[in-house]
């Protein structure tokens, strides 16, 4: 059965190998939250990460400064990892599309599917991953990064 996003393993592998800078929208400072765990995996795998959570802006999450909004991240991003529910994912996608230099990839976490938002991103030339976790995919595809 094909994935909900229509992407094959080769495409997922190419994304995870090529991206460097990833914003995690909805990152939590609580170690028991999945967003915190995934942020840790991304850091451990050598990605440059930027937690985005308006309730924790200025604080450190996994040793990284948190930003209130995507627009506050001071560097261009390659990928946005959306840890918001499906309804709220559209807002995160629109914020990514409004950046002066939008990311190449929008990644919506497990259980997050927002076809209208995905369509808006695809129409702008972005790759959209839905209902997947980059930490799981890194392990499943045996991708090691320095």
The pLDDT tens digits of the residues spanning 24-36 come to 999 999 999 999 9
Distances (CA, A) of 142 to 5, 32, 45, 116, 146: 21, 24, 12, 32, 13
Identify the three-state secondary structure at position 139: helix
Q: Which fold has domain 9-139?
A: Rossmann fold (3.40.50)
The confidence band for 146, taking pLDDT boundaries of 50, 70 and 90, is low
Domain boundaries, the chain: 9-139
- Tell me the pTM: 0.94
- How far apart are the C-alpha atoms of 97 and 139, rounded to whole Å? 29
**Number of helical H runs and strand E runs in the chain:** 5, 7
Q: What is the pLDDT of residues 50-80, one digit of tens each?
A: 999 999 999 999 999 999 999 999 999 999 9
């Amino acid at each position: 059965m094909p994935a909900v996003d229509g992407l094959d393993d080769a495409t997922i592998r190419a994304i995870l190998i090529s991206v460097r800078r990833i914003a995690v929208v909805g990152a939590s400072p609580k170690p028991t939250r999945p967003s915190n765990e995934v942020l840790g995996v991304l850091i451990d795998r050598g990605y440059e990460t930027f937690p985005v959570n308006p309730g924790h802006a200025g604080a450190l999450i996994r040793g990284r400064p948190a930003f209130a909004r995507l627009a506050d991240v001071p560097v261009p991003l390659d990928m946005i990892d959306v840890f918001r529910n499906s309804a709220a994912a559209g807002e995160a996608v629109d914020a990514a599309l409004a950046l002066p230099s939008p990311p190449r990839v929008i990644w919506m976490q497990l259980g997050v599917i927002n076809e209208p938002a995905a369509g808006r991103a695809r129409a702008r030339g972005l790759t959209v991953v839905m209902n997947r976790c980059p930490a799981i995919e890194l392990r499943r595809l045996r991708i090691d990064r320095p």
